[in-house]
Amino acid sequence: MPDDRVVDDHLAAVYDAVLVTLYQTKQAAWSAASTPFAGDLRDLRDFLIEQSRLVDEAETRIGGRAERVSTPSSYQQGNLVAESGGDIALAVRTLTERLVELSSDVRQRAAAIEGTDEGALLERLADGVAASVERLNANQS
C-alpha cells in the first residue's frame, strides 16, 4: 500500500489538473449557452466542482494540501474559446481532447495508489470524465 506522501502527490497533481479543466469548462459552457453542448458542459462543470471538493477533502484527511499547491485563481490558464478562434464547436472538441488526457492521467494515478480510498476516488473521477467525453462526442456528430 502506498504511503501518504505518494497518495498526496497524486491527489495534488489531480487537483491541479481538475481546476485547470474546470476553468476551461466554465469558459466553454458560458460561450456555448445556446448550443447542443450547453447542458453537457454545465453537467461537466458541476461534476468537476464536486470532484475538486472531494479531492480537497481527501488531501485534508491525509494531512492537508501540500505547500506547493497554488490558489484556485492561479489555475485560470489560457482562453479555450480564443485559442479556438471563437469557434465553439472547435473549443468543445479541444476540451474533449483534454478531457481524454485528463481521464487517462487520473486513471494511471488511481492505479498507482490502488487499494486506497483515494485510488477509488480517482477511479470514479476518471470514469465520470470519460462519461462526459462520450456525451460531448455524441453532440458533436
> Domain-by-domain residue ranges, the chain?
4-65+79-140
75: Cβ–Cβ under 8 A, 6 or more apart, which residues? Answer: 16, 19, 20, 22, 23
What confidence category does residue 85 fall into, taking pLDDT thresholds of 50, 70 and 90?
very high
Tell me which fold the domain 4-65+79-140 belongs to: Ferritin (1.20.1260)
What confidence category does residue 129 fall into, taking pLDDT thresholds of 50, 70 and 90?
very high
For residue range 43-79, list pLDDT tens digits in order: 999 999 999 999 999 988 887 665 555 555 444 567 8
Write down the pLDDT at residue 93: 95
Write down the pLDDT at residue 140: 77
Model confidence, pTM: 0.89
Write down the pLDDT at residue 28: 93
Write down the pLDDT at residue 118: 96
Q: CA-CA distances (angstroms) from residue 101 to 2, 60, 74, 98, 140?
A: 24, 26, 21, 5, 18
